[in-house]
Structure 1
């Protein structure tokens, strides 16, 4: 029997958002906090610290941040107190080691997958896989999240990347892989069947007019779990 896929609904801005995700059976919810990019899902750290108390028992809360350093990341985690922290940006091994020595929660690193074919990206993929496996072997990472890299954004673009690239990465890294990037109720089933990730992550794909849509959340989760 294949393990059940886990599902994270990202970009929580209110208790109502959290309730919608919970009712539909999501495994985790994400809070995008003080990131230096333009996104309608960004909230400040005080708001995140308040909302996290509304996350029900047995649902994971994920702090999504783009820190300048491991020191800043630890400070943000200590303020919000999530179950998991998800890191975007150019955090290096020293920063991850600093975090691991001070935090007792899982660390997820977001990795950018180029929007293109696997042949033109083969060298980048190989280097990427080696880096991830080295970090995992050092005990610095608990999972990676694969998001789409475009000319203007390295994640959060709502753009689908080549899932064959993600599948190749997944088959060559010894760490749980979370698939993101342009997922929605219409394509998540195919994405899961192609990549077989540990989990999937969605934000804009379950929204209508920048607001979480309970019908889309329900359909997304149904399609992902029935892939």
Structure 2
């Protein structure tokens, strides 16, 4: 099971993700987020993750992360852009020509509000990752009933925006896998 923790802001949080067995980490590159990390800091976090865990930079548009695009393994965007290492996020099915490495279904658009997952997700080809409102308490049921390629989490593991809890991270990855 692919399990990504997003919105990381410190090297310690990356170390926790590695220690706990997460598949990937996400660093937010959009200024619209409370978890925004400036480009110089994003590069430092990507360098800390390199070779240890897969790294994603997350934004709405490519223009928000253009200067760090080469520092991360995957570019996760809410607005479609043709990239070979794209994780496309949407609440509607991708068009047939919108091929990507990962398809993240996130009806919450990064707000962390849970919504039921639509049945059309079963027909999306490739690696479908469910996001939006997942918590240590609901992820096991979502995984059991939906059987996605993976899951993504952020705000439910926080004590404050960008401040993750090691215990919550541990509980989530255990429940997801």
TM, length-normalised to structure 1: 0.72
Stretches (4+) displaced over 4 A: 72-75
Find the partner of 2:105 among 134, 141, 146.
146
Q: Which has the larger radius of gyration?
A: 1
CA contact (8 A) 1:36 1:66 kept: no
- Matched residue of 1:160: which SS? coil
- The CA deviation string for residues 169-213 of structure 1, in whole angstroms up to 9 with x for no partner, is 332111210100001100000111121111100001111233100
Residues 41-120 of structure 1 correspond to what in structure 2 (within 5 A)?
41-55=35-49, 57-67=51-61, 74-78=66-70, 81-89=71-79, 91=80, 95-96=81-82, 99-100=83-84, 106-112=85-91
User: What is the total number of aligned residue pairs between the two structures?
Assistant: 176
Residues 169-180 of structure 1 correspond to what in structure 2 (within 5 A)?
169-180=120-131
Which residue does 1:160 correspond to in 2? 114
Shift of 1:54: 1.1
- Matched residue of 1:148: which SS? coil
- Cα RMSD (Å): 1.9
Return closer, same or farther for 1:107/1:68 CA change in 2, 3 Å cut-off: closer
Which residue does 2:143 correspond to in 1? 192
TM, length-normalised to structure 2: 0.90
CA contact (8 A) 2:43 2:68 kept: no
Which residue does 1:119 correspond to in 2? none
- The CA deviation string for residues 7-38 of structure 1, in whole angstroms up to 9 with x for no partner, is 001011011111121111111000001x142x
Which residue does 2:13 correspond to in 1? 17
Which runs of 5 or more structure 1 residues have no equivalent in the other structure? 101-105, 113-124, 150-154
CA contact (8 A) 1:110 1:145 kept: yes
**Structure-2 separation of matches of 1:53 and 1:159:** 31
- The CA deviation string for residues 75-97 of structure 1, in whole angstroms up to 9 with x for no partner, is 4303xx111111123x3xxx41x
Shift of 1:42: 0.9
Which runs of 5 or more structure 2 residues have no equivalent in the other structure? none
